[in-house]
Amino acid sequence: PPVPQGEGMPETEKGSLTTHVLNTATGLPAAGLAVRLARLQEPGTGWTELVQRWTDKDGRCQPLLAPGQATAGTYKLHFETAAYWQGLGHTSFYPFVEVVFTITDPVQKLHVPLLISPYSYTTYRGS
């Protein structure tokens, strides 16, 4: 497909939902961390798992939702932080981190970064 004017990335590589994980104790990307995406079933409280990925050496993974895959609704990113910290020889206060968010505009690109240490985490809506 043609590259939209002003965009630096072909549409096939532009995900509508991306994440990256940074180890704030070392200042380095968190590589090899499992990330799962689930969508809340409406109505109800059950979650449907959509995809699982692992972070690469840059703490990033392939887009969790590709362009056109997102629909309005409530989603959850589940980060397997305990296994990551155990792999580094550390224990973690948080066995996993779940970030729940709502997609209201399915065509808008969303980026949800996670900053982790053994005893804290922070997330925000990135760009």
pLDDT of residue 6: 44
For 3-7, 14-18, 68-72, 106-110, which range has the lowest pLDDT when averaged over its residues?
3-7
Q: d(Cα 105, Cα 107) in Å, to the nearest integer?
A: 6
Residues 6+ apart with CB under 8 A from 104: 72
pLDDT of residue 15: 56
Residue 31 pLDDT greater than 90, yes or no? yes
Based on its alpha-carbon atoms, the radius of gyration of the chain, rounded to whole angstroms, reads 15
Binding site: residue ranges? 20, 60, 124
Q: Residue 67: is the preceding peptide bond cis (ω within 30°)?
A: no
Position 59 confidence tier, pLDDT thresholds 50, 70, 90: very high
Domain 20-123: CATH architecture, name and number where available = Sandwich (2.60)
Domain ranges of the chain: 20-123
Binding site for substrate: residue ranges? 20, 60, 124
Q: d(Cα 127, Cα 109) in Å, to the nearest integer?
A: 8
